[in-house]
Structure 1
């Protein structure tokens, strides 16, 4: 009988980011590898951190976060990216990553964890609202320039 170990760790090396790219690409389908590394470099300077959930030796899910401070959320963690690789979905790995980030946020002095989810992603909305009791409390707007 093989026992699979579960590990969550921060990805800090270029090699680890390379391994995470195919998973990120499943969420950010318009992102090519060059853009991924270019943006990763810029985002890391601004506090972006990437964590991964491993099932055994295989990376199964990733979550990208940053710590922010503003008047309405005080010190909080923003979840920018959360995706489980297609073949491992519905096994609770995203749930475990998000629960890990909730604890990580508390330890790091955050008052809230905030995230955005595209309007058509109704299953994701149910996941955040039903499993984690996230409140849908505002709209997010953007203007293409």
Structure 2
């Protein structure tokens, strides 16, 4: 039996089991806000949340959604990607992204895009050097 697997999280219980890992990336989210946002994103925005399991324990999560824009056409947007602090640099982020790449191919999507915080130098090296992503734009935001 393979000790590493990817599982889609659908139930509220499964979603909440991923919270401690997701909290490492989305530090501003409390449990209730996280749960509400994930459930709404799944219901209204086609968001999918996958967990990478090692021996049945969640060691990483990736959230993504299929989208259509005039810029990219039909593509997959990676919303969230985090591996447990204790499990980083072990190839788990690559496994999660590879899973989404395969999902995209199977569902006829040819492009995957994501944004990454400007302070995340190690993540940028991973995306560019390991996953062969191109840096193509800046992301700007305005809060009200």
TM-score range for the pair, normalised by the shorter chain length:
over 0.9
Distance of 1:133 and 1:68 partners within structure 2: 21
TM-score, normalized by length of structure 2? 0.96
Q: 1:34 aligns with which of 10, 32, 35?
A: 32
Helix, strand or coil: the match of 1:7? strand
State yes or no: 1:115 paired with 2:117.
Answer: no
Query: How many residues matched?
Result: 143
Farther off after superposition, 17-26 or 38-47? 38-47
**Once superposed, which parts of structure 1, at least 4 consecutive aligned residues long, lie more than 4 Å away?**
none
Q: CA RMSD in A?
A: 1.1
Structure 2 unaligned residues grouped into runs of 5+ = none
Contact persistence 1:73–1:111 (CA under 8 A): no
Shift of 1:4: 5.8
Query: Which residue in 1 is equivalent to 2:95?
Result: 96
Distance of 1:137 and 1:124 partners within structure 2: 15
Distance of 1:86 and 1:43 partners within structure 2: 25
Query: Which residue in 2 is equivalent to 1:85?
Result: 84
